[in-house]
A and B are shown apart, each in its own frame.
Chain A
Amino acid sequence: PAGGVSLRRCSTRVTLEGINKPVIDRIIRVDHAGEYGANRIYAGQMAVLGRSTVGPIIQQMWNQEKDHLKKFNELMVAYRVRPTVLLPFWNVAGFVLGAGSALLGKKGAMACTVAVEESISDHYNSQIRTLMEQDPEKYKELLQIIKQFRDDEREHHDIGLEHDAE
């Protein structure tokens, strides 16, 4: 947006005044890309292992990722952030990673899940740190969302470990 013009949209109730736009932009863009990729990974795993015993578990984790992605889609519009230009790439790469790891068997798929969720939760943690350093009050809503998602991803990680060890 040009100059100091504030953009107040009644429909989404987010003011863009006073926020550190470059930082928030990057956070939302990366998170959106990450959730999109995670979606595609689970889609790939389901394509191979959908009818196996771990099918329902993967489906459940996938559903949660779908919710995450939906949330980031909303945030993206509210904060007027542009999506990453690499989306088509993540589309394919995510699916290939998911399907590839699933072809190695259930353990392969779970190991992949553990690794991915580990790095995602580290990533969310560092974003939480950044936002806390900036201004916990101003970014309260965003912080809440990221904390919730970080907890969800940790849960996925633990589920992965559980089933990996079987």
Chain B
Amino acid sequence: CQLSPLQRTLQASAVLRRVSDEQKEPLASSSQQQFDSHPTDHQPEQEPQGPRPSYTGQGGQESEDYESEEQLQHRILTAALEFVPEHGWTAEAIAEGAKTLGLSVAAAGMFHSDGSELILHFVSQCNTKLSELLEQEQKLVQLGKAEKKPTDQFLRDAVEARLRMLIPYIEKWPQALSILLLPHNIPSSLSLLTSMIDDIWHYAGDQSTDFNWYTRRAVLTGVYNTTELVMMQDSSPEFEDTWRFLENRIADAMNMGNTAHQVQSTGEAVLQGLMGAAVTVSN
């Protein structure tokens, strides 16, 4: 069922109030454990929280460690990822995730029933992880602790690293892809895809300020998408077929630049030949 933002906010606070009213003490310790056991799942922008946010009953005054609805949603979705291999990208997975945080399963009602937000959250999380990885790599190169990779190697490694993040969820990923292609999800999924590809090129050292900017990104997007599809159907050990496919596509992409050059030189040569012929004839 689809809820308007207002209904969702009301439901969210009602859920939290109900749960915290029922179980104040045990909740503090269980959520603390939850916090400790998932340190890497938290979004970078979340500040560390102490005991469970508590709500006073009077006039909706909140305590100082009130978390925003968005932060709460992130926590629920992150917790839900654990249940995706079993339940798929569904409200069930979200409900299970909410349960591990000590919330009522009705918390899943905060989200769309088709699991879109869970998938988008996952994609966004993967993209952030990739950016951090590439940033660290760049730092190592700047500090002289690592060699700068040639472009094709860099692109290959970046795409492989990003695709490997899908491995734990590979069974259910085709389902996720089809949901991401639904019209109402396309703006978000497209924007996540383009910013990820832009990030990869940026760290690869792309400094183009002409139409090449678009060409490079379009080509890499094509490589990424096709490799992702190949990965869905790959049953080779350790996905070796996929990585070999990736290697070949990147090689093609690199050659494209050379081919374009050759075509241009050939075109110029032909033109010059024709001009020469025209001049000769006119004389």
Contact = CB atoms under 8 A, between A and B. Distances in A.
Chain B binding surface SS class: helix
B44 A83 contact: no
Contact of A3 (B44, B198, B211): B44
Chain A binding surface SS class: loop
A4 B44 contact: yes
Contacts, number: 46
A10 B131 contact: no
Interface stretch (B150-158, B202-210, B252-260): B202-210
A129 B132 CA distance: 36
The interface centre, meaning the residue of B128, B209, B210 with most chain A CB atoms within 10 A of its CB, is B209
Contact of B209 (A2, A7, A76, A85): A76
Given A10-B142, A85-B214, A1 B199 contact: yes
A5 B213 contact: no
A23 interface: no
Query: Interface residues of B toward A: which range?
Result: 20 to 34
B71 interface: no
B45 A83 contact: no
Nearest to A9: B138
Query: Interface residues of A toward B: which range?
Result: 10 to 19
A82 B132 CA distance: 22
B127 interface: yes
A5 B211 contact: no
A4 B45 contact: yes
A3 B209 contact: no
B31 interface: no
B209 A83 contact: yes
Interface string A49-86: 00000000000000000000000110011001011010
B211 A2 contact: no
A93 to B, nearest CB: 15
Given A10-B142, A80-B202, A85-B214, A1 B131 contact: yes
Given A1-B195, A2-B127, A83 B132 contact: no
Contact of A5 (B132, B198, B210): B132
A33 B142 CA distance: 32
Contacts of A7: 135
Interface in B17-76: 43-45
Contacts of B214: 82, 85
Contacts of B199: 1-2
Interface of B: 43-45, 124, 127-128, 131-132, 135, 142, 192, 195-196, 198-199, 202, 207-211, 213-214
20 contacts: A1-B195, A2-B124, A2-B128, A2-B192, A2-B196, A3-B43, A3-B45, A3-B124, A3-B128, A5-B128, A5-B131, A5-B132, A5-B135, A7-B135, A76-B209, A77-B207, A80-B198, A82-B198, A82-B214, A83-B211
**3 nearest A-B residue pairs (beta carbon):** A4-B45, A73-B209, A2-B128
Interface of A: 1-5, 7, 10, 32, 72-73, 76-77, 80, 82-83, 85, 87-88
